[in-house]
Amino acid sequence: MDSFELNKIAGAVFFTLLVYLGVQNLGDILFHIESADANAYIVEGLEVDDVSALKASAEPEVDILALLQTASVDKGAKVAKKCVSCHAFEKGGANKIGPALWGIVNRDVASVDGFGYSGTLNEMAGDWDYNALNGFLENPKKYAAGTKMAFAGLRKPQDRAAIIAYLNAQGDTPTDFTAGYTPPAAEPKNVSAEEPAAETQIEEVPALQDETQGEPVAEATEDMFSDLVTNTPTE
């Protein structure tokens, strides 16, 4: 093998090495990952449920009683159509997949005869007042963990208020949600005191005076005119 062949082999090896190094450097440039800063810290123990809880806590609290003051029963009837396949709303309606809902407002929890409630609802105390209904309708599985109800809930507070108003109307003794309700006091507005308008001052303009005699121009003109008449030669 002569020197020419050796040079070709050496050149090929050198070229291959250059290509390899070039590709490696290009990869580092395109996919460079910076290491964490020394001042950075890792948040441990924060899971998905915790993040959801933090997000929920950031949402403003809903005054459902305030919404019930203007809630529409007709709108509630439309919202309730989502539930007719599982619940009966009319008086004397039979239980379906879910219990009959006639007269549910202020009725004891898990109190419909002949319906098999989940253990969670059987263990719950209290009644279905507007606050309890609002919490359950917003997220049944969150309000009563372990419930067999598959409904995802109503996210809009206005829809929940409307269906509560409709459920209240579907009973022998509807509750008057307006009784004893006092609207929250309006927050005072920060009204800045208006500064009184500055009085416009009119400066008194001094009378125009003759530069030589210091007399007012009008008087000087009159004297000059008199002199002119007096000194005019007569023919």
| Domain edges within the chain | 1-31, 61-169
How confident is the model over 129-147, as pLDDT tens digits?
999 999 999 999 999 999 9
Percent of the chain exceeding pLDDT 70 equals 62
Q: How confident is the model at residue 201 (pLDDT cuts 50, 70, 90)?
A: low
Mapping DSSP onto H, E and C, the string for the chain reads: CCHHHHHHHHHHHHHHHHHHHHHHHHHHHHCCCCCCCCCCCCCCCCCHHHHHHHHHHHCCCCCHHHHHCCCCHHHHHHHHHHHCCCCCCCCCCCCCCCCCCCCCCCCECCCCCCCCCCHHHHHCCCECCHHHHHHHHHCHHHHCCCCCCCCCCCCCHHHHHHHHHHHHHCCCCCCCCCCCCCCCCCCCCCCCCCCCCCCCCCCCCCCCECCCCCCEHHHHHHHHHHHHHHCCCCC
Which overall architecture, per CATH, does domain 61-169 show?
A: Orthogonal Bundle (1.10)
State the first-to-last Cα distance of the chain, in angstroms, to the nearest integer.
Answer: 146
Rounded to an integer, what distance in angstroms lies between the CA atom of residue 71 and that of residue 167? Answer: 12
pTM equals 0.57
How confident is the model over 9-39, as pLDDT tens digits?
877 877 787 777 776 665 555 555 555 444 4
The chain-wide mean pLDDT, for the chain, equals 77
